[in-house]
Every structure is written in structure tokens, then in C-alpha cells.
């Protein structure tokens, strides 16, 4: 029997014949597939030093893609035919953080080994996922440069809590995956870090730009100059976008919200600038807790960050 109006569960969304939504670009990866972008979800948030349900973010960001079309009015170009290969989400271990980190690194490595595309989006999760993810890219590509949008240094010591969402970049530095001079931190916010970690950043040669520096120099100029510098030193550049770099007014769904951060426009414009550079191959988006969000504001902003990375390069 056929039904006139009943559709499969979840498929009753209005469809305009002339409009393609960004989530329609999602294609479940199958062996042999090729596409422009590869995407993987790392739904881990048990390493967060504050209560967080960031493990739910990969699902909420995918859903938020349905809020936007594939057409860029600024560029007068429609990306409806772009294929976004979705590798799915990693099954994290229920109790062992070390096993979870291992699974995340293995899964990102397996995605890269398919060689199905040239550019990648990694959806966290808390910022702890950047340690295994960047480690996998380092193993695959070689010398790696990182631009980190963040209110915090994420250089905490490991003695007080092990590997947490506050330690990924210290872990990367101490494991030799990343050189200090190849790490750029933008958006470091006042009254949000300890002096010991600011001093550690200087000792390691990390290029740190506070919000005061951003106000003085301009975010896009900083990103342009640093990518030009890094491009001469590394084999690929990885963007790590901690959404708490954005002011709490524009990203209320972060575990560590605070005032004085980027506006949504500043973030999006800077991602467009970075994504246009040929050595920029990957991006992670972290630190969204959908349970704390308001009308999916933060997840929608993250989805728009994805669009800028995917479509504006």
C-alpha cells in the first residue's frame, strides 16, 4: 500500500525545488568513495575539567548544517555538487581516557589512509580531541603548523589531572608532534589564564595574540601573516577552533563562556581568510555543549564555520 502524505520518520522537512541545504552534501563514506571534504566526529568530552556534554556536539553541528544553503551569495556560486564524505563518529571507551585517545587517533589515521579527499573537518568533543587528531595528521603529513582560536592557552600541566581539555597543546609540544614556533594562538583572553602558562608559551616560542593584540592589529592581518610564515616552515596547516574564543553573546553554548571574545563575524571572516590558503588542509571545531546552548546558536555558528572552510576556499 502506498501513502499519499506519510514519509519516513525525520523526512518531513519542507523542500524548495531550487534550494539545496548544506546537510544534503553529506554522504556516508563507503570504500572507494572520493570527495572534496572528509568529516569525522570525535564525540569525547570526559576529559573536560568542567562539566560538559560536548560529546553531543558532532550530532548537533551536523543537524545545524540543515539551517543553511549551499549557495554563496557573496561569491555567486552554488556548491550543491560538493561531496562531503561523512566517516561517522568514533565509539569512545566508556571508562578509559587513554583508550579513547588511542581510538580517536587510530580513527583519524584510518580516515587519512583512505586518501579519499584533500581536506578534512574534525568535529569534537572537547579540546582534548585535538591531541590525538593533530598527532594523526602529523604522522600522515609530516611537519605541521597549527592556528588555534581560543580564549585559553590549553597548556596546563599534566600532573594535576592528566590529559584533559586544558592540556592538548602541552601534550603535542612535549611529545614532539608540534614545535612551539609552529603554534599560533589567537584570541587569548584577559583574566582567563594563569601566568605560569603565559610564561610557558613564551619559553616554547609560541606565537600568542591576545584580544588586545587583535584589537590593535586586526584578526585577518594576523592570520594572513602567520599563515604566510608557517607555509614556509611546515608541510600542512591545521586550524583548531575552540568556540569559547567567541564572545558569550555569540556562543552561549560553550562550557567556558566569557565576555570580551570575537564576534561571530570576526570568527567567520578569519576562517575564510585561512581556508583560502593552499597549505590549510584540516580544521577541528571543539567545546560546544548543546545542553547549554540557546536555540542552537553555537552549533549554527559552528556549522557556518564549516561552510566557510568548505566553500570559501
> pLDDT tens, 101-158?
999 999 999 999 999 999 999 999 999 999 999 999 999 999 999 999 999 999 999 8
* CB-count exposure of residue 72 (10 Å: 0-12, 13-18, 19+): middle
- What pLDDT is recorded for position 8? 66
C-alpha cell at 84: 562531503
Alpha carbon distance 251, 298 (integer Å): 5
For residue 300 the three cell numbers come to 549554527
Nearest to 84 by CA among 128, 40, 147: 40
Q: pLDDT-based confidence at 164, cuts 50/70/90?
A: confident
Residues found in the chain: 313
User: Residue 204: is its pLDDT beyond 70?
Assistant: yes
Closest CA to 310 of 12, 91, 114, 68: 68
Mean pLDDT is lowest, of 114-123, 273-282, 303-312, for 303-312
**Homologous superfamily of the 22-311 domain (CATH):** Ureohydrolase domain (3.40.800.10)
Of the listed ranges 40-54, 115-129, 232-246, the least confidently predicted one is: 40-54
Q: Which residue from 306, 313, 310, 308 is spatially nearest to 81, judged by alpha carbons?
A: 310
Q: What is the DSSP pairing of strand 77-78 with strand 71-72?
A: antiparallel
Checking if the pLDDT of 305 tops 80, the result is yes
CA contacts within 13 A on the Cβ side of 16: 7
pTM for the complete prediction? 0.95
Task: Give the CA-trace dihedral at 66, 69, 70, 76, to 10 degrees.
Answer: -170
Residue 6, φ and ψ in degrees, nearest 5: -75, 135
Closest CA to 22 of 75, 53, 62, 76: 62
* Other Cβ atoms closer than 10 A to 104: 27
Q: Taking residues 3-15, what's their average pLDDT?
A: 70
In sign, the C-alpha dihedral spanning 191, 174, 214, 246 is negative
| pLDDT band of 94, cuts 50, 70, 90 | very high
Map out the domains of the chain as residue ranges: 22-311
User: Cis ω on the peptide bond leading into residue 125 (within 30° of 0)?
Assistant: yes
The grid coordinates of residue 96 equal: 578509559
Mean pLDDT of the chain: 95
- For β-strands 84-89 and 37-42, DSSP reports them as parallel
Amino acid at each position: 500500500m502506498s501513502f499519499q502524505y506519510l514519509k519516513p520518520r525525520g523526512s518531513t522537512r519542507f523542500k524548495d525545488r531550487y534550494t539545496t541545504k548544506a546537510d544534503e552534501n553529506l554522504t556516508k563514506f563507503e570504500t572507494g568513495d572520493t570527495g572534496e571534504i572528509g568529516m569525522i566526529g570525535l564525540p569525547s568530552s570526559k576529559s573536560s575539567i568542567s562539566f560538559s556534554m560536548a560529546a553531543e556536539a558532532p550530532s548537533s553541528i551536523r543537524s545545524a548544517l540543515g539551517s543553511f544553503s549551499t549557495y554563496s551569495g557573496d561569491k555567486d556560486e552554488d556548491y550543491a555538487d560538493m561531496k562531503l564524505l561523512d566517516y561517522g563518529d568514533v565509539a569512545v571507551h566508556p571508562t578509559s581516557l587513554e583508550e579513547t585517545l588511542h581510538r580517536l587517533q587510530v580513527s583519524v589515521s584510518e580516515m587519512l589512509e583512505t586518501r579519499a579527499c584533500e581536506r578534512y573537518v574534525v568535529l569534537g568533543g572537547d579540546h582534548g580531541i585535538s591531541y590525538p587528531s593533530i598527532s594523526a595528521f602529523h604522522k600522515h603529513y609530516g611537519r605541521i603548523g597549527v592556528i588555534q582560536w581560543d580564549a585559553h592557552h590549553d597548556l596546563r600541566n599534566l600532573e594535576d589531572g592528566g590529559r584533559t581539555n586544558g592540556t592538548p597543546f602541552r601534550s603535542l609540544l612535549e611529545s614532539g608532534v608540534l614545535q612551539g614556533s609552529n603554534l599560533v594562538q589567537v584570541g587569548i583572553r584577559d583574566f582567563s589564564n594563569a601566568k605560569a602558562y603565559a610564561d610557558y608559551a613564551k619559553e616554547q616560542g609560541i606565537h600568542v595574540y591576545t584580544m588586545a593584540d587583535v584589537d590593535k592589529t586586526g584578526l585577518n592581518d594576523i592570520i594572513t601573516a602567520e599563515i604566510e610564515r608557517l607555509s614556509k616552515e611546515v608541510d600542512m596547516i591545521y586550524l583548531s577552533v575552540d568556540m569559547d574564543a567567541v564572545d558569550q553573546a555569540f556562543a552561549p553554548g560553550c562550557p567556558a563562556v566569557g565576555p570580551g571574545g570575537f564576534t561571530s563575524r570576526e570568527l567567520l571572516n578569519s576562517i575564510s581568510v585561512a581556508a583560502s590558503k593552499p597549505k590549510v588542509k584540516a580544521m577541528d571545531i571543539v567545546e560546544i555543549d548543546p545542553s547549554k546552548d540557546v536555540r542552537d546558536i553555537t552549533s549554527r555558528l559552528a556549522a557556518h564555520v564549516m561552510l566557510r572552510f568548505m566553500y570559501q576556499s
